[in-house]
Amino acid sequence: MASSTSHDLSHAPSVIQMKAVNKWFGQFHVLTDINLDVKQGERIVICGPSGSGKSTLIRCINRLEEHQQGDIVVHGVTLSNDVKNIETIRREVGMVFQSFNLFPHLTILDNLTLAPIWVKKMPKREAEEIAMSLLKRVRIPEQANKYPGQLSGGQQQRVAIARALCMRPKIMLFDEPTSALDPEMVKEVLDVMIELAKEGMTMLCVTHEMGFARAVADRVIFMDRGEIVEQNEPEEFFAHPKNERTKTFLGQILHH
Amino acid sequence: MADIPAGEQRRQLAPPVDHTGVLGWIRKNLFSSWGNGITTIVLLAAILWLLNWFVDWAILRAVWTAPGGSACRGHGACWALIHEKYRLIFFGTYPYEQQWRPLLAVAVMLAVLIASGDRRMWNKRLLAIWGIGSFATFLLMLGQISIPLGLILFVALGIGGLGMLLRGTVADAAEINGWRALAAVGALGLILRVIGVLPGWSLDIAPFSYVETGLWGGIPVTIILASYGLLFAFPLGILLALGRRSQLPAVKGLCVGYIELIRGVPLISLLIMASVMLPLFMPQGVSFDKFLRAQVAIILFAAAYIAEIIRGGLQSLPKGQFEAADAMGLNYVQKTTLIILPQALRVVIPPLVNTFIGFFKGTSLVLIIGIFDFLNAANQAMVDPNWAGFPGEVYLFAAFVYFCFCFSMSRYAKWLEVELNRGTRR
């Protein structure tokens, strides 16, 4: 697939469609009329102030949060209360969390092979081969038999990415993957994500790493108070933000 | 640290040396003021006086062997009573010449319990240890065991079903077919047995003379009631704890109701219900063994407490663990058995051992329905008019035995807490 920032997506099929999605936490309207169409291979960065609904938006895609109005279709499967549909979608959508969420009682290798073995019913040997090749890709094969607690934050997050990739997902969701990391570890995680983006993975990434957005994003989405306020290609987005709220936000995070 | 030349060791300062020593410690902690000094001297004198009295009574003037209680009068502690009655205290009314059997059963149970305390055994081996140990214990205690065909079929169905449920998604075709075959044989056999095609055959194992549970007593009763009470309460407690967190209102309501109801009544009332009221509801001619009824009451009681402990463990897990498991596409059973329970149970093992200590002592309440556990057997030793008048010695001895058990369990719990918190844990 394309290796530069702008690759042609006009003919790519759409893999996620969100139509008029609304969600409330109690009385609080956390998502307001979200319409979003994600093409196959598209890399989207979502940014915005805290509490703007960015995380909730991507967590709705794999049903960690339930939306109350509107439709979400992932790979042709409509999200509803049907458990079968939810499990089908979760098998194809990988997720990386801010706090890694590795399983502390399992070794790194077991963390990676768990889902392929139990969800995909893959033979153990095959799952371990895939796991080792992915650990090599995130550059920590030597940690395979350690426990998560023995690894640094950056290493844990790379393991978490490898764990999600083990299921061979078609879409990857990143929920602030570098926010819990010490500054010197942010780069090692971003490098892995950039590599992944260059291989053509469909990615939705909630992050404040604007360098990452400039380097790989096809589209940057700015959210505020539960709405998608503005979206554009990264160069245009950063150079000529149109909405006042976008300008204020960019001013806050870029010039300090 | 920027001013440290490269390649040179950073100078480490040793901590200041404490010159105070033993005398300094005594001065600082016991005689820091006139008031403290006087208190120390008075308390020390009181302790020495008590100790002197106790040693004099319990050892120096004690009577170790005597033909009867009257020989003890005017002397110190009458340990002769314990010497005379220890078999009654330890084994109750179990037939005298057969008492090597409960002794051996206790040894087996203790071996099983000690083996269960070893972390390296916490896998399939533990099931085997408990299976074999339980069989040996009950064969020794009862002398004869008769296993009806129906029970064998039921166990086959249970094991096959569990295998299908837990191994369903990982096992290869041959293994799954094995589980299915086992479950099918069990189910088919049970149906045939119920409609009367299969005869009421049973497997009899009878190496010793039969001793009914009514004659059991003493330390084996205490150990069996406490161990099996907790053992069977454990899975029930897990289900109750999971049910209490369920999204389904009916399941949740049932579990909350059960837990709160059981925790709201004393164990004694539950024991009385099991022994007096339950038979009233049973159809004519059907009756359960009294010992079994007490055991069931203890299991039901303990389950509610264990459920609350496990709920604490479940709540201690970060939400992210549940979300990560969900996001991977694991279903509820997989998420619970692979991710949630292994972590939650690890957290609650030390409090579970504490619960076990509580139930070990709490089982003496079975006196109320006429079962003689260790404490009640000791009580029995005082009834003999020939040895009347020495309750202190008997209770002191019973307390000492309880203390040995409970103190070693509490040391174990403490050790385990340290052991579980190092190494792999964050």
pLDDT in tens, B206-250: 788 888 888 888 889 999 999 999 999 999 999 999 999 988 999
Is B96-276+288-348 CATH 1.10.3720? yes
**Which residues in chain B have their CB less than 8 angstroms from residue A175's CB?**
none
User: Hey, is the C-beta of B329 within 8 angstroms of any chain A C-beta?
Assistant: yes
Q: Which residues pair with B372 in a beta bridge?
A: B217
- pLDDT confidence of B345, banded at 50, 70, 90? confident
User: Hey, is the C-beta of B175 within 8 angstroms of any chain A C-beta?
Assistant: no
Lowest-confidence range among B280-289, B309-318, B352-361, B416-425? B416-425
- pLDDT confidence of A133, banded at 50, 70, 90? very high
Question: Who among A64, A95, A101 is closest to B321 (CB)?
Answer: A101
Query: Does position B18 have pLDDT exceeding 90, yes or no?
Result: no
Mean pLDDT on B288-295: 85
User: Hey, is the C-beta of B318 within 8 angstroms of any chain A C-beta?
Assistant: yes
> Residue A4's pLDDT is what?
45
Give the chain B residue nearest A113 (alpha carbons).
B328
Lowest-confidence range among A100-109, A236-245, B364-373, B396-405? B364-373
Asked whether the beta carbons of residue B328 and residue A115 sit closer than 8 angstroms, the reply is yes
Asked whether the beta carbons of residue A104 and residue B342 sit closer than 8 angstroms, the reply is no
> Residue A6's pLDDT is what?
53
Asked whether the beta carbons of residue B324 and residue A119 sit closer than 8 angstroms, the reply is no
Mean pLDDT on B311-323: 93
Strand-strand pairing, A69-74 and B202-205: unpaired
- CA-angle at A87, arms to A84 and A93, nearest 5°: 145
Asked whether the beta carbons of residue B328 and residue A105 sit closer than 8 angstroms, the reply is no
CB contact at 8 A, B425 and B342 = no
Cα separation, A58 vs A170, in Å, equals 15
Cα separation, B82 vs B62, in Å, equals 12
Mean pLDDT on B345-367: 86
Give the chain B residue nearest A95 (alpha carbons).
B327
> Residue A229's pLDDT is what?
93
Residues constituting chain A = 256
CA distance B22 to chain A (A): 41
Per-residue pLDDT tens digits for B115-162: 888 878 787 888 889 989 999 998 888 888 888 888 888 888 988 888
Q: Of A123, A64, A124, which is closest to residue A90 (Cα–Cα)?
A: A64
CA distance A245 to chain B (A): 32
Query: Does position B10 have pLDDT exceeding 70, yes or no?
Result: no
Per-residue pLDDT tens digits for A171-208: 999 999 999 898 888 999 999 999 999 998 999 999 98
Question: Who among B318, B327, B339 is closest to A64 (CB)?
Answer: B327
Q: Tell me the HSE value of B161 on the side-chain side, using a 13 A CA sphere.
A: 8
Asked whether the beta carbons of residue B323 and residue A90 sit closer than 8 angstroms, the reply is no
Question: Who among A90, A99, A105 is closest to B320 (CB)?
Answer: A99
Lowest-confidence range among B8-12, B242-246, B414-418? B8-12
Residue spans of the domains in chain B: they are 96-276+288-348
How high is the ipTM of this complex? 0.90
Per-residue pLDDT tens digits for B370-391: 888 888 888 888 888 888 778 8
Q: Which of B122, B172, B323 to mutate to test the interface with A (most CBs of A within 10 A)?
A: B323
> Residue B169's pLDDT is what?
63
Query: Does position B69 have pLDDT exceeding 80, yes or no?
Result: no
Residue B86's identity, in one-letter code, is: Y
Query: Does position B426 have pLDDT exceeding 70, yes or no?
Result: no
Query: Does position A3 have pLDDT exceeding 50, yes or no?
Result: no
Lowest-confidence range among A2-6, A41-45, B9-13? A2-6
Per-residue pLDDT tens digits for A48-103: 998 899 999 999 999 999 999 999 999 989 988 888 889 889 999 999 999 999 99
Cα A241 to the center of its chain, rounded Å: 24
Q: Could you report how far apart the first and last alpha carbons of chain A are, in Å?
A: 36
CA distance A207 to chain B (A): 18
| Structure tokens belonging to residue A152 | 């640094």
CA distance B217 to chain A (A): 43
> Residue B8's pLDDT is what?
54
CA B24, B25, B29, B30 torsion-angle sign: negative
Q: Of A57, A32, A30, A48, which is closest to residue A241 (Cα–Cα)?
A: A48
Question: Who among A119, A148, A150 is closest to B330 (CB)?
Answer: A119
Comparing A110 with B19, which gets the higher pLDDT?
A: A110
> Residue B166's pLDDT is what?
74
**Which residues in chain A have their CB less than 8 angstroms from residue B170's CB?**
117-118, 121
